[in-house]
Amino acid sequence: MMRIFFIILCLGFVAACESGGGDVLVTPEETEPDTGGGGDDETPIDSDGRTPELPPGTTNPTPDTSIVRREPLDDETGGGFARNIEYRNDQGQDEFVVDNIAFDGDNVYTRGDPVTGIAQLGSFAVYEGKEETSDPVTGASLNTFTYRAVYGRSVTGQTEFAIVRSGSYIDYGFGGFVYQRNGFDNDGNVVQLVLPNEGDASYRGDYAGIRVFSGRGGLEFVQGDAELRIDFKDFNNGQRGVALFVDNRRLFDSQGNDITQEYLTALSTAGAEGGGLFGDLNIDEEGGSGASVIVETDEDGNPVLPRIRPVISPDDADANGEITGELRELADFDNGSTQATGEGTYYAIISGEDAGEVVGVLVLEGSDPRVSGTNFQETGGFVVYRQ
């Protein structure tokens, strides 16, 4: 019932809502070689007891087949509703088609405007749902909701991801993500995985995503650097040690303005006030800790968001190259404390005969220090290459 109320609220007061504005980027038949495995089923897979579980998608993965994973359907928050995500550029149109999302125009998302919004985040492209549509009977013009998509594809074409989110709900809203190892690369070669049993490897690449909120509307973008480390020889019993790090994240509003420092200032204020946002900031007798966040910068001197670090587990990776793991966003304060300001999960797939690249998506949630009683949900994608 609450979800229905939020939809009616936006429909009845369009001026107060932002206007704007899978499962696979191409169908399984187009991506999967005829090797007898895979497929994009609606039935969730058996994750063999791992925590966190793999998202739904390919039911019988192997190292020699394409694998498609999508966000689980969540009727409460709206996650996982975006379906049949398709990227089209066969005639130079550079657009997305996204199914099963209401009030996003005609389901076609075009490249973002670099003047009024964002068209690119690092090596990844940004797309916008149409800002208006028309009644096919009366011809009347109708405003739509804000929907944005981030799309990333590796330089080889072996892997790709897409993320769709909305800023028009007083909750996280409807959307979805998909990530996949394709059946063929850009040159038409069959994609296979040969997973090493010895040695360590480091992977580096770009990270970008979308932030939406519970408790208020609007959306924001994030961009940063991702590093994945894999220990192929340990843990024992065929397990691999995996660690994902995301650094140098900058925060942008929907018009492309850098608002990272504004966010960090609010984070320091929350730390100084103490109490509800972070549980153990060593609150003093006056009710505040006096702690300020230590601001880190990238190589160009830009302030960046708190770093994202992994929670290491012995069951993060399997023989098919699929990875799941938990994450924490950690902020350092000048009173010597380190606080988790967000937590979440990441999912990834390794690809290549030399295990040369990895694609993945993470979902991170936490309290937004700028507006009391609100939470953020950050969904970001990454493509990293073996160094």
pLDDT in tens, 2-54: 333 233 333 332 323 332 333 456 544 444 443 444 444 433 334 444 558 88
Query: How many Cβ atoms from other residues are within 10 Å of residue 52's Cβ?
Result: 16
pTM score, whole prediction: 0.84
Query: How much is the pLDDT for 39?
Result: 42
Burial of 358 (0-12, 13-18, 19+ CB in 10 A): buried
- Three-state SS for the chain is CHHHHHHHHHHHCHHHCCCCCCCCCCCHHHHCCCCCCCCCCCCCCCCCCCCCCCCCECCCCCCCCCEEEECCCCCCCCCCCCEEEEEECCCCCCEEEEECCCCCCCCEEEECCCCCCCCEECCEEEEEECCEEECCCCCCEEECCCEEEEEEECCCCCEEEEEEEECCCCCCCCCEEEEEECCECCCCCECCECCCCCCEEEEEEEEEEEEEEECCCCEEEEEEEEEEEEECCCCCCCCCEEEEEEEEEEEECCCCCECHHHHHHHHHHHHHHCCCCCCCCCCCCCCCCCCCECCEECCCCCEECCEEEEECCCCCECCCCEEEEEEEEEEEECCCCEEEEEEEEEEEEEEECCCCEEEEEEEEEEECCCCCCCEEEEEEEEEEEEC
- pLDDT at position 158 is 97
pLDDT at residue 352, rounded to an integer: 95
Q: What is the pLDDT of residue 11?
A: 35
Give the pLDDT confidence score for residue 50 in this predicted structure: 54
Give the angle subtended at the CA of 307 by the CAs of 301 and 308, to the nearest 5°.
Answer: 145
**Nearest residue to 36 via CA among 66, 2, 81:** 66
* Torsion sign across C-alpha atoms 62, 68, 72, 73: negative
| Domain layout of the chain by residue ranges | 2-386
Residue 277 has what pLDDT? 46
**What pLDDT is recorded for position 169?**
86
Specify whether the CB–CB gap between 359 and 348 falls below 8 A: yes
Give which of 294, 316, 236 is closest to 52, Cα–Cα.
316
| pLDDT score recorded for residue 99 | 86
Residue segments in the chain with a per-residue pLDDT below the cut of 50:
1-23, 27-49, 274-288
Is the bond into 52 cis (omega within 30 degrees of 0)? yes
Res 317: pLDDT: 82
Q: How far apart are CA 262 and CA 268, in angstroms?
A: 10
Report the pLDDT value the prediction gives residue 316, as an integer from 0 to 100: 75
